[in-house]
Structure 1
């Protein structure tokens, strides 16, 4: 892979000297390398349309959302690669901040701007992505069978009551969403607790805006979640909250299963650490 990156950079950035290439992370869809301590090269399964879409999306929203996003140097459709200079800050899942409440206002403004993109423009920037709640619940039920023994016995009733309940109704409207707004994609300064960037817009879609709130609830907790809502200009009622909690719970089970199987163990550790507040909200 490192040889491939060197060849890729020679083709797209002639004259750029490569001194170091180090792995910088791996998720469900992407692998990331850091070149010379400054350049992010992110690769996924080649999908030319997805690469073009993400590059266009980032160009369109960089001055809109009030938070730094990657400024793409180049996108390679064939290789499924996007390259950009690393943003400041550290991933929140690996470098917790001292005062997470400071993240609430910029996240509320980000979601206000993103969800406020007119529908017609949103459909030009991202695909429609609607995954029915009953299907999500069924997937969570199957995944829980594989991870149940790892859940503390006293917390299992919380999860099992959720899995036995009816899923929420489908959303009334769809909006442009990041659609994977977990702590691993939030960059912050650990010392000042300032939000410094939002990365990995691969899964951006026109979908239920409650998806964007779900992982924030799961990863940052109910208090920060409520502060985010206080800075949010869009509508968000009791039914929206119900769907956000539903998605948060399904997502936690998915992360637990991923972290206990093929993914980094920190996903499972975070899922277990956040289980109680996620399933009691």
Structure 2
């Protein structure tokens, strides 16, 4: 979608705006910022179309339940076969080193405390630890079939050993509403004060293990700060599972690099596995 198309579409919705600027870098949606302080997102494919539908059900209730800002759609519907949503643009930039990162702990505690049965109803997903474990049984199939063949024997054995050893832990989690893609770029922060103010981009939100929402913090701030945040949250978070999701992110990078035929991404993912795997 081009900016002029987005502008015409917004006018059809009764949102006249003389400035519509594309936000680049996202693969999931065509995203535009308007001069009047709104965001327009239009799904690029059926998978994201379904994600938008889930967000449209979750976000209004989540916005009422938490003290921090989340995007609350003012317009939602279908445009040329794909879902769209419009919501006020939330102020701030992504969380960075030097910001007041410890304020993230109560935000995550609030997110994970959202009533889990209601989250599952809104998102149309299962609410059991077994269902979460089963997701990783499926992930394990592409790890085995796509990632392991490009690793050397020693690294291949480490991946298999850690994956197999972690599966029982995945079946013992306490399910909660999770963001599941909580990189620090999705934690909005006041640039003047460094105080986190909101969380955005809930396309992958689901019910699962809250440990996964600490991985982005681990990547940016390291182990000590992340452990302190977990302790401050008052939640029972498995450090072993935080590390599992962390190294599995490198396996995702290998898979993506192979799909894109990008040797540099594959090599970076393999090096990430070497650094992140225990042992």
Pair in the same fold by TM > 0.5? yes
Map Cα deviations across residues 114-173 of structure 1 (whole Å, 9 max, x no partner): 222233322222232634333333433455458769xxxxxx967862344324112343
Shift of 1:233: 2.7
Relative contact order: is structure 1 or structure 2 higher (C-alpha 8 Å, sep ≥ 6)?
Answer: 1
Query: How far does the alpha carbon of each residue in 1:71-94 deviate from its partner, in whole angstroms, 9 at most, with x for none?
Result: 2221124532122222222234xx
For the residues of structure 1 that align with 2:70 and 2:111, how far apart are their CA atoms? 12
SS at match of 1:173: coil
The 2-side partners of 1:80 and 1:160 are apart by 43
The normalised TM-score by structure 2 is 0.76
Matched, 1:121 2:124: no
Q: What's 2:199 paired with?
A: 198
Offset of 1:271 from its aligned partner? 6.5
Name the residue aligned to 1:251.
249
1:1-281 to structure 2, matched below 5 A, reads: 1-2=1-2, 3-12=4-13, 14-27=14-27, 29-36=28-35, 38-44=37-43, 45-46=45-46, 50-77=51-78, 78-92=81-95, 97-100=96-99, 102-106=100-104, 108-128=105-125, 130=132, 131-144=134-147, 161-165=158-162, 166-168=164-166, 169=168, 170-189=171-190, 192-236=193-237, 240-255=238-253, 257-258=255-256, 262=260, 278-280=276-278
Partners of 1:269 and 1:226 lie apart in 2 by 29
Gaps of 5+ in 1: 150-155
CA distance in 1 between counterparts of 2:271 and 2:193 reads: 24
Aligned residue-pair number: 264
Q: 1:178-219 CA distances to partner (integer Å, 9 max, x unpaired)? A: 122123322234564322321111111112222223343334
Equivalent-residue separation in structure 2 for 1:104 and 1:189 (angstroms): 14
CA contact (8 A) 1:210 1:244 kept: yes
Q: Determine the C-alpha separation between the residues in 1 that align with 2:58 and 2:251.
A: 30
Q: For residue 60 of structure 1, report the CA deviation from its aligned partner.
A: 0.9
Cα distance in 2 for partners of 1:220, 1:127 equals: 33
Question: Which structure dedicates a bigger proportion of its chain to helix?
Answer: 2
- Give unmatched runs, 5+ long, in structure 2: 127-131
Whether contact under 8 Å (1:55, 1:75) holds in the other structure is yes
- The verdict on how the C-alpha distance between 1:212 and 1:10 changes in structure 2, with shifts beyond 3 A counting, is same
CA RMSD of aligned residues (A): 3.6
